[in-house]
Amino acid sequence: MNTPHGAILGATALLNLVACTTPLAKDLPTSGRVASRLGTLELENGYPTAATVEKVFDDIDYQRACQAYLWALPLMAMQQWQNEHLVKFGAGRRDYVDYLTFQDKLGLLTANATTP
């Protein structure tokens, strides 16, 4: 069980041991199919099948990619802001820039992804 798949299978087995003591556990399938937002997940004796494990890991990869994109947005906004200072105003890396006219603000008015 040195692979990530083995870790998932081990966690599933532990969850089965703990969950089997609750009343809700009696309603959970140990074999068969479970409908989820990922589609149909198949279980065999309480363990996910190889296809189910792959489907879950693909979803985890997708979620991590989305989080990486969201976490990178502020950094990219600041990079764009700095680039505008260097290119448009000719400012150095530690120069202070005043926006005196609306024209000055056009490249930087909303240098983020949340303001329309």
59-112 pLDDT per residue, tens: 999 999 999 999 998 888 788 888 878 887 788 878 887 777 777 666 665 555
CA angle, 60 then 66 then 72, to 5°: 135
Neighbours of 41 (CB within 10 A): 18
CA distance 93 to 87: 11
pLDDT value of position 59: 94
Can you tell me the mean pLDDT for 1-21?
59
* Chain mean pLDDT for the chain: 77
Long-range contact set of residues 74-82: C-beta below 8 Å, sequence gap at least 24: 74/112, 77/111, 77/112, 77/113, 78/111, 80/111, 81/108, 81/111
